[in-house]
């Protein structure tokens, strides 16, 4: 952070339940040379990782479907979202995290993942940066049913589908998760499956 332009004056914890919500008061040096005091709430849930899983031979991909209460509260009829496999880093590095999440959520044991970039998803309110990966899989890598961890209250449905079907869902507005949209578009642009 450029400390010449930002001076944090106070940090107040508003909630420290599941994740951390802070109220930050800071002085910011504007482009016109004047200082301005601003107040923002920042939600800190840690950083995450996500992966686009694809099979070049079958031209299939693996996505998941799970309930997301914030989407339900914001009008997503049943709260279910189709997503790429993802999770919070917790104490892991991004590569270790995503391999673990792939196994827990989808049941595939994948050894090789390739990081393609990092991105902030909601930079106006959430500190989270997501590490984006791609990974090829084959049928013989499937070792469990997946579905997530009971200890994390996960109830995940594994969706293996043709890439063309996922693109049709995307084009039809049926995929509404930003990280999934980004990875599907990446796969289209870079012709991961032809």
In this predicted structure, the answer to whether residue 27 has a pLDDT above a threshold of 70 is: yes
pTM for the predicted model, two decimal places:
0.94
What is the per-residue pLDDT for 133?
Answer: 98
Which parts of 33-122 fold into alpha helices (H)? 69-73, 94-106
Q: How far apart are the first and last CA of the chain?
A: 42
Give the C-alpha separation, 150 to 157, whole Å. Answer: 13
pLDDT tens per residue, range 3-17:
799 999 999 999 999
What is the per-residue pLDDT for 120?
Answer: 97
What is the per-residue pLDDT for 60?
Answer: 98
In this predicted structure, the answer to whether residue 148 has a pLDDT above a threshold of 90 is: no
- At residue 154 the predicted structure's pLDDT band, cuts being 50, 70 and 90, is confident
The DSSP output letter for 5 is T
- At residue 149 the predicted structure's pLDDT band, cuts being 50, 70 and 90, is confident
pLDDT tens per residue, range 158-191:
999 999 999 999 999 999 999 999 999 999 999 9
Cα-based distances in Å from 120 to 61, 123, 126, 128, 167:
24, 6, 8, 6, 24
What is the per-residue pLDDT for 21?
Answer: 97
pLDDT tens per residue, range 101-110:
999 999 999 9
CB atoms within 10 A of CB 61: 25
Strand, helix or coil at 178?
Answer: helix
Strand, helix or coil at 77?
Answer: coil
pLDDT tens per residue, range 41-87:
999 999 999 999 999 999 999 999 999 999 999 999 899 999 999 99
Q: What's the per-residue H, E or C state across 151-177? A: HHCCCCEEEEEEHHHHHHHHHCCCCCC
**What residue has token string 């482009």?**
31
- At residue 153 the predicted structure's pLDDT band, cuts being 50, 70 and 90, is confident
Q: Which run of H or E residues covers position 180?
A: helix 178-189
What is the per-residue pLDDT for 2?
Answer: 55
**What residue has token string 């827990």?**
104
């Amino acid at each position: 952070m450029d400390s010449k332009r930002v001076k944090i004056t106070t940090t107040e914890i508003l909630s420290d339940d599941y994740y951390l919500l802070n109220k930050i008061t800071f002085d910011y040096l504007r482009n016109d040379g004047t200082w301005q005091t601003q107040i923002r709430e920042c939600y800190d849930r840690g950083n995450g990782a996500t992966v686009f899983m694809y099979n070049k031979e079958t031209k299939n991909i693996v996505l998941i479907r799970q309930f997301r209460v914030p989407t339900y509260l914001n009008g997503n009829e049943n709260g279910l979202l189709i997503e790429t496999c993802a999770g919070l880093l917790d104490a892991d590095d991004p590569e270790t995290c995503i391999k673990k999440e792939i196994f827990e959520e989808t049941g595939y044991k994948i050894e090789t993942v390739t990081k393609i970039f990092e991105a902030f998803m909601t930079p106006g309110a959430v500190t989270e940066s997501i590490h984006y990966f791609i990974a090829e899989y084959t049928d013989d890598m499937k070792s469990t049913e997946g579905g997530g961890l009971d200890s994390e209250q996960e109830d995940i449905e594994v969706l293996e589908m043709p890439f063309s079907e996922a693109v049709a869902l995307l084009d039809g507005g049926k995929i509404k998760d930003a990280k999934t949209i980004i990875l599907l578009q990446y796969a289209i642009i870079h012709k991961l499956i032809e």
